[in-house]
Amino acid sequence: MAKAEYIDGGSWPRRIVSAFMRGRGQVPVDRGNQRAAVASLDACLRVVKDGGVFCICPEGTRSPGGRLYRARTGVAWLALTSGAPVGPAAMSGTDRVLAPGRVLPRPAKVKVTFGKPVDLSLHEGSVADAGARRAVSDLIVRAIAEVSGQEYVPVYAASAKTRG
């Protein structure tokens, strides 16, 4: 899953990135349009139901300052609806590959670290409960914090970006 701006083309550099992202099976998500975001989650659910795997960045945006911010609840909806195991993963070095504001990536090493699957058994069958989705999202992002060693900040990254 990647923000739609990376996948929807536009200028020639964006079309190159778009071709790369689509070739890797990325599902575009329009973060500013709730209906489109739900459709993206449905597309990810189909991937899981078809036996596929994918990565979702639950913060919904790039982390300002290298800290880990509050997860959006779409990740919980997807986990609870699909019943698929959730394996927390952390990537470091991505800022050197695609720095904020850049269109074309640069070659650089990225480190990926995986953690133990998150136990969601206490929340099975509670996908309709907004409180349960919030709790599951928090469990997932805290598992990512444990794997990454990043400081967890319980506010949305988008809010932190606007505050500067």
Long-range CB contacts for residues 93-98, cutoff 8 Å, separation at least 24: 95/66
Cα–Cα distance for residue pair 3/13, rounded to 1 Å: 16
Query: Which tens digit of pLDDT belongs to each residue from 55-109?
Result: 888 887 777 677 899 999 999 999 999 999 999 999 888 888 887 777 778 899 9
What pLDDT score was predicted for residue 127? Answer: 92
Identity (one letter) of the amino acid at 29?
V
pLDDT-derived band of residue 160, with 50, 70 and 90 as boundaries?
confident
- Number of continuous H segments (helices) and E segments (strands) in the chain: 7, 6
Structure-token pair, residue 154: 């319980």
Query: Which tens digit of pLDDT belongs to each residue from 5-43?
Result: 766 767 777 777 777 777 777 777 777 778 888 888 888
Cα–Cα distance for residue pair 75/72, rounded to 1 Å: 7
Query: What pTM was estimated for this model as a whole?
Result: 0.81
Q: What's the mean pLDDT when you consider all of the chain?
A: 86
For residues 77 and 127, is the Cβ–Cβ distance under 8 A?
yes
